[in-house]
C-alpha cells in the first residue's frame, strides 16, 4: 500500500503517474518481502522541498528523507535510497 501526502506541494495527475513509475521497482521488491506499506510526505519550506518516506515491511521499518530545491530531485534521491534499503533487507531476509 502506498500513501502520498503532497502537503503544500502542487502535483498534477501526470506528476503522480510519474512518481508511480519511479516507485515501480521499490513496490516490486517490497511486495516480495511482504506486508509492504509506504507513506510519503512532501512539504515545501521556503525554496526547499522536503520529501520523507516511512517504509514498513516484514523485514523491518525505516525512514528516508531528502531535501532539494526541486521536488523531482528530492523524490528521485529518496526513491533511490528506498530501493537500496529494500534490496539490503531482501538480501538479509533471505538468510
> The whole model's pTM is what?
0.88
Q: How confident is the model at residue 92 (pLDDT cuts 50, 70, 90)?
A: confident
DSSP SS3 for 86: helix
Q: Which domains does the chain have, with CATH numbers?
A: 2-94 (3.30.160.100)
Instruction: Render pLDDT for 8-57 as a digit per residue (tens, 0 to 9).
Output: 988 999 999 999 999 999 999 999 999 999 999 999 999 999 999 999 99
Residue 67 CA to residue 45 CA, distance in Å, equals 10
Residue 20 CA to residue 11 CA, distance in Å, equals 13
Residue 50 CA to residue 95 CA, distance in Å, equals 35
Q: What is the mean pLDDT of residues 51-65?
A: 94
Residue 51 CA to residue 70 CA, distance in Å, equals 10
CB atoms inside a 10 Å sphere around CB 5: 11
Residue 95 CA to residue 93 CA, distance in Å, equals 6
Amino acid at each position: 500500500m502506498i500513501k502520498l501526502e503532497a502537503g503544500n506541494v502542487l502535483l498534477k495527475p501526470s506528476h503522480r503517474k510519474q512518481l508511480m513509475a519511479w516507485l515501480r521497482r521499490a513496490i516490486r521488491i517490497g511486495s516480495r518481502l511482504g506486508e509492504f506499506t509506504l507513506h510519503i510526505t512532501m512539504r515545501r519550506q521556503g525554496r526547499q522541498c522536503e520529501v520523507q518516506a516511512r517504509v514498513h515491511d516484514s523485514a523491518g521499518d525505516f525512514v528516508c528523507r531528502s531535501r532539494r530545491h526541486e521536488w523531482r530531485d528530492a523524490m528521485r534521491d529518496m526513491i533511490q535510497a528506498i530501493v537500496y534499503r529494500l534490496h539490503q533487507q531482501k538480501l538479509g531476509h533471505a538468510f
